[in-house]
Chains A and B, each alone.
Chain A
Amino acid sequence: MSSAPGFRVPGLSVEELSWGHPLPGSGWRQLFSGFSLSCPPGQFLVVIGSNGSGKSTLLNLVAGTLRHGAGRIHLGGRPLHRLRDHQRARWIGRVMQNPLEGTCPGLTVAENLRLAERRNRPVLINGGFLIGAFGGIHPNSGDRRRYRELLGELGLPLADRLDEPVGQLSGGQRQTLSLVMATLGSPDLLLLDEHTAALDPRAEATVMALTDRLVRQLGTTALMVTHSLEQALSHGDRLVMLHEGGLIGDWNAAEREHLDPAALRAMYGAAIVAPQSSSATDGSSAS
Chain B
Amino acid sequence: MFSLWIGAYDQGLAYAGLALGTYLTLRVLNFPDLTVDGSFALGGGTAAVMISQGAPVPVALGLAILFGCLAGMVTGLIHTRLGVNDLFAGILTTTGLYSITLRLMGRSNIPLSETPAGILALPDLGLGLDGQWAVGLTLATVGMILLISFLMATDFGLSLRALGNNPTMARANGINQRRGLTVGIAAANGLVALAGALVAIYQGFADVTMGIGSLILGLGMVIIGEAVLRPRSLPWALLAVAVGAILFRTMIAIALQLGLEPVDLKLATALLLLIALAFGRLRIPGLSAGQGRQEQ
A residues whose Cβ falls under 8 Å from a Cβ of B = 63, 65, 85-87, 89-90, 94, 96, 101-107, 111, 114-116, 118-120, 122-123, 125, 131, 134-138, 181
Interface size on B, residues (CB 8 A): 26
Determine how close the nearest CB of chain A comes to the CB of B290; give it in whole angstroms: 15
Known: A101-B168, A102-B169, A105-B165. A114 touches B174 (CB 8 A): no
A-B contacts, CB under 8 A, total:
93
A67's closest neighbor in chain B, by CB? B296
Q: How many angstroms from the CA of A164 to the CA of B102 in the assembled complex?
A: 49
A interface majority secondary structure? loop
* Any A CB within 8 A of the CB of B172: yes
Contacts of A103 in B (CB 8 A): 166, 169
* Interface segment, one of B49-57, B60-68, B130-138, B149-157: B149-157
Q: How many angstroms from the CA of A105 to the CA of B164 in the assembled complex?
A: 11
Contacts of B296 in A (CB 8 A): 65, 85
Task: Find out whether the CB atom of B155 lies under 8 angstroms from the CB atom of A136.
Answer: yes
* Any A CB within 8 A of the CB of B158: yes
B166's closest neighbor in chain A, by CB? A104
* Any A CB within 8 A of the CB of B212: no
Determine how close the nearest CB of chain B comes to the CB of A230; give it in whole angstroms: 27
B residues whose Cβ falls under 8 Å from a Cβ of A = 150-151, 153-159, 161-162, 164-166, 168-177, 183, 296
Task: Find out whether the CB atom of A135 lies under 8 angstroms from the CB atom of B161.
Answer: no
Task: Find out whether the CB atom of A90 lies under 8 angstroms from the CB atom of B151.
Answer: no
Contacts of B151 in A (CB 8 A): 134
Task: Find out whether the CB atom of B162 lies under 8 angstroms from the CB atom of A135.
Answer: no
B28's closest neighbor in chain A, by CB? A106
A63's closest neighbor in chain B, by CB? B172
25 A-B pairs (CB sep. < 8 Å): A86-B171, A86-B174, A86-B175, A89-B173, A96-B168, A101-B166, A102-B169, A104-B165, A106-B161, A106-B164, A106-B165, A107-B162, A111-B158, A115-B175, A119-B173, A119-B174, A122-B174, A122-B175, A123-B156, A125-B156, A131-B154, A134-B156, A135-B154, A135-B156, A181-B173
Task: Find out whether the CB atom of A115 lies under 8 angstroms from the CB atom of B170.
Answer: yes
Contacts of A96 in B (CB 8 A): 168-169, 172
Q: How many angstroms from the CA of A134 to the CA of B169 in the assembled complex?
A: 20
A135's closest neighbor in chain B, by CB? B155
Contacts of B158 in A (CB 8 A): 107, 111, 114-115, 135, 138
Known: A90-B174, A106-B161. A125 touches B155 (CB 8 A): no
Determine how close the nearest CB of chain A comes to the CB of B125; give it in whole angstroms: 33
